[in-house]
Amino acid sequence: MSGTIILADQQGQEKLIVNANSRVSSASMLDSGNFVLYSDNNNSSIIWQSFDHPTDTLLGSQSLPSGGQLSSSLSETNHSTGKFLLNMQVDGNLVLYPAYTAESLDFDAYWTSDTGTASGSVNVNSHLYLNKTGLLQIWNSNSDYGCLINTLNDAEEYQNTGGNQTIYRATLNFDGFFRLHAHYVNNGSDKIIARFPKIIRTCEVKGFCGFNSYCTINDDKQFCSCLNGYKFIDENERTLGCERNYSKVECRGDKD
DSSP 233: S
* pLDDT tens-digit series, residues 2-39: 788 898 988 989 999 888 888 888 889 998 899 999 98
* pLDDT tens-digit series, residues 215-250: 998 877 788 999 999 999 999 888 889 999 887 655
Confidence label for 162 from pLDDT (cuts 50, 70 and 90): very low
Q: Is the peptide bond before 98 cis (omega within 30 degrees of 0)?
A: no
pLDDT average, residue stretch 40-48: 79
Neighbouring C-beta atoms of residue 250, cutoff 10 Å: 5
From CA 12, how far away is CA 9, in angstroms rounded?
5
Alpha-carbon dihedral angle through residues 160, 166, 170, 173, given to the nearest 10 degrees: -130
Neighbouring C-beta atoms of residue 96, cutoff 10 Å: 25
Q: How many CA atoms lie within 13 A of 57 on its CB side?
A: 11
Q: Which residues pair with 218 in a beta bridge?
A: 221
Neighbouring C-beta atoms of residue 149, cutoff 10 Å: 17
* pLDDT tens-digit series, residues 163-222: 558 899 999 999 999 999 999 888 888 999 999 998 767 888 888 898 899 999 887 778
Length of the chain, in residues = 256
- Higher-pLDDT residue of 123 and 130 is 130
Indicate if the pLDDT at residue 161 is higher than 80: no
Give the domains, in start order, of the chain with CATH numbers. Answer: 1-53 (no CATH), 54-200 (2.90.10.10), 209-255 (no CATH)
Indicate if the pLDDT at residue 255 is higher than 60: no
- Higher-pLDDT residue of 85 and 125 is 85
Neighbouring C-beta atoms of residue 88, cutoff 10 Å: 24
pLDDT of residue 179: 95
Confidence label for 137 from pLDDT (cuts 50, 70 and 90): very high
> What's at 63, amino acid-wise?
S
If DSSP codes are grouped into helix, strand and coil, which group holds residue 197? coil
pTM greater than the 0.95 cutoff: no
Indicate if the pLDDT at residue 89 is higher than 80: yes
Neighbouring C-beta atoms of residue 144, cutoff 10 Å: 5
H or E segment and range at residue 178: strand 178-184
